[in-house]
Amino acid sequence: MNAYVTVTYFNKTSNYTKTETCECGVYGLASPVANAMGVVGIPKEEKYQACDSNTEFTNTDKPWIALIERGNCTFSEKIQTAGRRNADAVVIYNAPDKGNQTIQMANFGK
């Protein structure tokens, strides 16, 4: 199932708020299909793939969405790491040098 992603951000230089929406994601096979909104938090200490179960994030004020880079561990491990920090949703993205292919995650348990 395709996912619509809306991003709103404030550009301090231009003093302008911009909103962009795209149908550019997919829900994981076992993921709940639901709306989520919140401030984005990324893994601290350049551990962008969040493969360490003790990964901390830059923002965990509710509601928040974990933004995690794909690679080095399973999708389930990434989701579980963000879940331990009470993320409301998880978005997993491709590293900039890895292309823009969108695939459906198979995130069944461990």
Q: What is the pLDDT along the chain (110 residues), one digit of tens a residue?
A: 888 888 898 888 999 999 999 888 888 777 788 889 999 999 998 889 999 999 999 999 999 999 999 999 999 999 999 999 999 999 998 877 776 666 666 655 54
CATH of the domain at 73: 3.50.30.30
DSSP 8-41: EEEETTTTEEEEEEEEEEE--TTS-------EEE
What pLDDT does 110 receive? 47
The answer to the question of residue 61 being in a domain is yes
Residue with structure tokens 């149908």? 23
pLDDT, residue 52, reads 95
Residue 70 maps to a domain: yes
Question: With DSSP H G I counted as helix, E B as strand and the rest as coil, what are the percentages for the chain, rounded to 5?
Answer: 10, 35, 55
* Domain contains 75: yes
> For the whole model, what pTM was predicted?
0.82
Counted domains in the chain: 1
Q: For residue 75, give its domain range.
A: 29-98
